[in-house]
């Protein structure tokens, strides 16, 4: 399989252990807040608002997105990674390290 096929396959996988309704709701709420913040930034640009104020909002969205990623990563390690290690699929360790690098 060529690298492009690997990338395409990676984007279309599903969790073996579904997220609980509470986890789903929590993630959706975080995403909705970030979407709202992005809409606010868009409006600030349209209104020709002060650059510093826009940058403060950008920093807030970046922080929220980073934290969102850490929540997903923690869940990934507690569920997907743990299960694959139990099954002897040690390749998950390299994949997880690469995911952590991407979050930085």
pLDDT of residue 9: 53
pLDDT of residue 11: 63
**73 within 8 A of 100, measured Cβ to Cβ:** yes
Q: Using CB atoms within 10 Å of the CB of residue 29, give its burial: 0 to 12 exposed, 13 to 18 middle, 19+ buried.
A: exposed
Indicate the domain borders of the chain. Answer: 22-103
pLDDT of residue 13: 80
Q: What is the pLDDT along the chain (104 residues), one digit of tens a residue?
A: 444 445 545 566 888 888 999 999 999 999 999 999 999 999 999 999 999 999 999 999 999 999 999 999 999 999 999 999 999 999 999 999 999 999 87
22-103 CATH: 1.20.58.1000
CA quadruple 14, 17, 21, 22: dihedral positive or negative?
A: negative
């Amino acid at each position: 399989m060529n690298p492009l096929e690997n990338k395409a396959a990676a984007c279309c996988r599903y969790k073996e252990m579904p997220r609980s309704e509470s986890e789903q709701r929590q993630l959706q709420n975080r995403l909705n807040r970030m979407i709202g913040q992005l809409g606010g930034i868009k409006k600030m640009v349209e209104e020709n608002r002060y650059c510093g104020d826009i940058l403060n909002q950008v920093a807030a969205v970046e922080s929220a997105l980073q934290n969102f990623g850490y929540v997903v990563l923690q869940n990934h390690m507690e569920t997907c990674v743990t299960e694959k290690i139990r099954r002897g699929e040690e390749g998950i360790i390299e994949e997880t390290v690469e995911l952590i690098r991407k979050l930085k």
